[in-house]
Structure 1
């Protein structure tokens, strides 16, 4: 891919994850079959894509995203199923559209013009977008994936007598924090922190075991923790390599 294609790819990927996982709330997701919530989401996706791209004289790309994102989301709503594979297929479809736009950049816009944000912030703008995308991936995106993966265990725990009323929110926040720590440690090139984090959390969790019920609860937490670490480490190193590659290419 050439420089122009990479710039469009980075901008639109950041816009997608920002719109889908930050600007779209849990309530928006649950009520997406209602027209006003659906329109709200499509408006955010289109607007953020237009803003982050910075080609303010170009309307073809935002319109293309508006149409394709709407169609993909409508298909997902028609399926009326909610599992990891549907979630990943939906994300892959959106990202495929973004890759298609990037590859065909010369068709979608005038390649002789500079993007607005590059004029004011320079090429570092795209490194910031990659960092923003990385933060969203290791927090919200990973959280959704882990939620799907541990859902069977979660149902089992909820049906038991274990006290877990605060589990969904506190577990989510802890997961966000630990994956952010992993991302920071990778970007700062101090991976030893990850080892200390895994050891400390494992000791704390196993110290809570007092009965078979507690053991079930702690095993559930540890499975979620290991999934969290696996995604956090993988995505963090992907972000690290991507940011370094952008420095060289731009």
Structure 2
């Protein structure tokens, strides 16, 4: 089963990412179903599937299902492009393709998915911890550092919208991952890497307030990630015992 899933996903990656030029994507977005590259794209997927499956045509039904559904999924994506957020649309598009692949694998190698695992204590603990590291930590940090308003003090950094929030979430996820893998050296490397990138900001800052603001935010972010990471490890150990 696993071998078939890997083969189908590999074919999808080859067709959707590796061998699809940006010019094709642009042409499809403009011309929708009239774009010749939409059909070239589907043909490319067909070739990738046949090649990866080593010309084993016992999978002809699965190949047919994937190709037909891929066409309609891509067409729906193109039609919804002007109406929905492109990032959301991309995620839904890829999810739909993966669901089709999973269903095709089930046709040839029937398996029973254990939905109980989604509600197992360990799974719920992991989900809770990840939400704490991302959303809860962001709100905690925003609440704590809101007492210092750089805009009121005339200190405002030119940066991408919400970039700081995304960077904070990513760094906390990395720290959390390093902790549960018991790779504490990785946290030190992450702190060092962030310090290097932030050094130019700190050295250029004429106002001491910006430097202090950045340091407080960084220490809070890492501190919360370590706190929730250790909490996850401790509770996880209690569950196992």
So what's the TM-score if we normalise by structure 2? 0.47
Larger RCO (CA under 8 A, 6+ residues apart): 1
So what's the TM-score if we normalise by structure 1? 0.46
Tell which structure's C-alpha radius of gyration is larger: 2
